[in-house]
Structure 1
Amino acid sequence: MVHSQSAIPLPAQLRWSVATSAFQIEGSRRADGSGRSIWDDFVDRPGAVVDGSTAEPACDSYRRTTEDIELVAGLGVDAYRFSIPWSRVQPGGSGPVNRAALDHYSRFVDGLLQRGITPQPTLYHWELPSEIEADGGWLSRDTAARFADYAALVTDGIGDRVHDWYTINEPAMTTLQGYGIGDLAPARRLLFDALPTVHHQLLAHAWAASALRAAGARRVGLTNNHTQVLPGGDTDADLAAAHVYDTLHNRLFSEPLLAGTYPDLEVFGLPALPVLDGDLESIASSTDFYGMNFYNPTTVGAADPDDPLPFALLPTPDVPTTGFGWPIMPEALRDFLVDLARRHPNLPPIVIAENGASFPEPSTAGRVEDDERIGFLSAHLAAIAEAMAQGVQVEEYTVWSLLDNFEWADGHTQRFGLVHVDFQTGIRTPKASYDWYRDRIRASRENRRGSGR
């Protein structure tokens, strides 16, 4: 099958990346003195993971780093986004660094640099140490201070070679799914009492960014999970519900970083966030780029009066879906980018830090002709090109994910990888999308050379 590229070409200077996260691929959960995280606790709960699978050994990447670096290098990407688990590097979330674990990531960074790949660590991809959760987790302001201390420990070990950093991944999902409705770790069901976790995560990012910059970091950001919110109808109730959801999923996490303020929650009957003097100033000056994960739009309608939530999540009509059931609408990414840039004229450069899709695929080792994934990625790149043609500054694009992995509460039932992983044997087999992405990057590089950049 031939997959067309965008009619609007992507600028030659766009950088290319691919991403993973530690808990989803590493395995070796008890190696090198690692501590427990809230995801270890979640997986241990009977029935918490839909297929009963665990993250041990997942892709066994903690022991197969050389093999996985070769897969990254084979794509020809500019950068690799990976995560460093807090519970492995600082077991318990306090005290001295676990030197054996930090040395592992130091060697990993060296391996990437030797292949000409920029390392882009994420310091928090949902793996909160269990002891910190027991002390209040992200409901506690103290967690922000402890996170900044952890950031300083990591940069002491690898900051001489790592200059691009992500602090926190998808704080919205931690708040909404982790503490709000309990679908993800730490599986709390607090509904709107979860909202203090918004501020404490953003504050943690800001304080960690200060620690990283003090150690010489050049680029620091976090990555927000964003969705284009579509009203399910044109009634006042549908429009109001969509506005509430857009505020809670998107603007509550973007406005403090980009405008130095939180949306007014009191208009929805919700309490203000626990902001102290100087907090918003710290958050507003904390990001050198705006990291954004985008997978799908969300259609929202008026809630049932008996529902504790003031909105209902609805199917998005007349569009195909991924294996997760997520609607595929590339123009939603374009429209979100254009609207974000319109509302924030001083928007820093955008990094698309995750974009990808899962589709049903065989579990056993073998070549996968994943045309649906290629179509998804190609169409979303076209949407980015259209947004850039309208003046939106996107500087990097990242595919999620390098490998099929342990997909959180969905276990091994969802496969996002450019590389197929047989979880029984660990065998890695590049899919057709791996070759497509490699060729897309190669064509971009040739365009870059031809333009003299």
Structure 2
Amino acid sequence: MFSHTRQDFPSDFLFGAATSSYQIEGHAQGGAGRTHWDDFAQTPGNIADGTDGAVACDHLNRWPEDLDLMRDANFDVYRFSTSWARVMPEGRGPVNEAGLDFYDKLVDGMLERGLKPAATLYHWELPSALNDLGGWRNRDVAGWFADFTQVVMERIGDRVWSAAPINEPWCVGFMSHFLGHHAPGLRDIRATARAMHHVLLAHGRSTEVMRGLGMSNLGAVCNFEYAVPADGSPEAAAATRTYDGYYNRFFISGLMNKSYPADVMEGLGAHMPDNYQDDFDLIGQPLDWVGLNYYTRKRIAAAPGPWPHLEEVPGSLPKTQLGWEIYPEGLHAFLKRVHDGYTRGLPLYVTENGMAWNDKLVNGAVKDDKRIDYLDTHLTQVKRAIDEGIPVKGYFTWSLLDNYEWSEGYVPRFGIVHVDYASQTRTPKASYLALQKALAQ
């Protein structure tokens, strides 16, 4: 059970759950174009179980059932994402009307069930045809993304409650171009610097388009990871500062302060696009809210070699199925830090928070007490922030459904609803039932 109920939060506080298009829809259906995740998944060794998002949770066909689950859980908001390649199979040019029709029906379905539609335009599935042209390394991607924004929001923008251009810029830029863990799987510092900047430029162009369509309640969603030194040495402290810089400060600083952290630019500055500073007015245009995605803590040690001179080392805290340390206090720390240092009174939302566990369906039920405890302790930190006067206005658990967890395939289960991938049967877990009770009016 949860320590708090809906009544313990402000009357206008919103609860929701989040998903993303490629992870649940079934990308091989409905006329969607090829994405760099399809390419990445077909490269041996990239995906833990060798799978892809061709079928996923078959949400493309089962969306009414999934929206019923959202409504029946007593959620207020459904945070969903649109697939660029489903709407524009080549990323530019011809539109797949079936893709637009799907999102049209999906938004109407939310409204019919009393759910507020919270749209994210991009959750990582870049059309392959655009990746062939350099993808996020190519400055033109900002214009391509603006055109996609125009097409999608001309159809659904009049009915969405909120919209954000890009989910987790760090994953799109650094994780995918420097670490190589996500599509397109590069390990190139020059590509990284350009992708990180162009992601924010695309955010700016997309926001500009949505404002031009008369849309409001527009925001940005960044992910944050609490970092601590692995030991008491000055070298570990410096390494932790660097990690915090490129993970936690780079994107929020560009969005809110129209600048990049000087310590991060020591590593990336030589690789940035020419005259990148001229883009900050577009990148840093006013927003209506900021979303924080938070999951874990990392311990950082110094390491030899080129920038960033660091490595992650195992910690001693309890861990999730993916080995992520559970540290709820980090969520409070970031809510306070973002409010105090960047947003200065702007509404904040916890747009993703959840845990993976190796959940088992036993006698028609899934007992996931660890997830209940994880969500409960993090919600307690949200309430702590609210009690301190920080304007946190909503909380979204990740995720509604077990789904395709990118390079981890279908092994980790993040959902509050269990999915049998063979039969596509949905079974609400104990965490779903506990939330349902806690959120009852």
Deviation track 1:128-151 (CA, whole Å, cap 9, x = no partner) reads 000111101101110011000100
Distance 1:364 1:179, change over 3 A: farther
- 2:37 is matched with which residue: 39, 59, 81? 39
Do the aligned partners of 1:205 and 1:286 also contact (CA within 8 Å) in 2? no
Distance 1:407 1:183, change over 3 A: same
TM-score (norm 1): 0.92
- Rounded to whole Å, the distance in 1 between the matches of 2:258 and 2:17 is 30
Do the aligned partners of 1:192 and 1:270 also contact (CA within 8 Å) in 2? no
Do the aligned partners of 1:35 and 1:92 also contact (CA within 8 Å) in 2? yes
Deviation track 1:197-234 (CA, whole Å, cap 9, x = no partner) reads 11111110111011112112111122111111111122
Moved more, 429-438 or 229-238: 229-238
- 1:428 is matched with which residue: 419, 426, 429? 426
Identity %: 38
SS in 2 for 1:382: helix
Moved more, 96-105 or 414-423: 96-105
State the 1:437 CA deviation: 1.2
TM-score (norm 2): 0.95
Counterparts of 1:30-179 in structure 2 under 5 Å?
Answer: 30-179=28-177
- Could you tell me which residue of structure 1 aligns to residue 410 of structure 2? 412
Deviation track 1:375-424 (CA, whole Å, cap 9, x = no partner) reads 00000000111122222211110000000001111111100001000011
Deviation track 1:292-350 (CA, whole Å, cap 9, x = no partner) reads 100011211111x2466411112222x10011100001011111222222223625211
- Rounded to whole Å, the distance in 2 between the matches of 1:263 and 1:308 is 15
Amino acid across the alignment from 2:287: T
SS in 2 for 1:203: helix
Counterparts of 1:335-354 in structure 2 under 5 Å?
Answer: 335-344=333-342, 346-354=344-352
State the 1:156 CA deviation: 1.2
Do the aligned partners of 1:366 and 1:420 also contact (CA within 8 Å) in 2? no
State the 1:192 CA deviation: 5.3
Do the aligned partners of 2:239 and 2:308 also contact (CA within 8 Å) in 1? no
Do the aligned partners of 1:206 and 1:286 also contact (CA within 8 Å) in 2? no
| 1:281 equivalenced with 2:281 (yes/no) | yes
Amino acid across the alignment from 1:284: G
Do the aligned partners of 1:163 and 1:216 also contact (CA within 8 Å) in 2? no
Counterparts of 1:13-412 in structure 2 under 5 Å?
Answer: 13-27=12-26, 29-191=27-189, 193-264=191-262, 265-268=264-267, 270-271=269-270, 273-274=272-273, 275-276=275-276, 278-303=278-303, 305-306=304-305, 309-317=308-316, 319-344=317-342, 346-362=344-360, 366-412=364-410
SS in 1 for 2:309: coil
Amino acid across the alignment from 1:144: A
SS in 1 for 2:359: coil
Which runs of no fewer than 5 residues in structure 2 stay unpaired? Answer: none
Moved more, 336-345 or 49-58: 336-345
Moved more, 338-347 or 130-139: 338-347
- Rounded to whole Å, the distance in 2 between the matches of 1:54 and 1:311 is 32
- Rounded to whole Å, the distance in 2 between the matches of 1:188 and 1:426 is 33
State the 1:96 CA deviation: 3.2
- Rounded to whole Å, the distance in 1 between the matches of 2:259 and 2:201 is 13
Do the aligned partners of 2:163 and 2:219 also contact (CA within 8 Å) in 1? yes
- Rounded to whole Å, the distance in 1 between the matches of 2:117 and 2:261 is 34
- Rounded to whole Å, the distance in 1 between the matches of 2:268 and 2:375 is 40
Do the aligned partners of 1:364 and 1:422 also contact (CA within 8 Å) in 2? no
| Structure 1 residue runs of 4 or more that deviate by more than 6 Å after TM superposition | none
- Rounded to whole Å, the distance in 2 between the matches of 1:152 and 1:428 is 34
State the 1:9 CA deviation: 4.2
Distance 1:382 1:192, change over 3 A: farther
Distance 1:295 1:215, change over 3 A: same
Do the aligned partners of 1:73 and 1:115 also contact (CA within 8 Å) in 2? yes
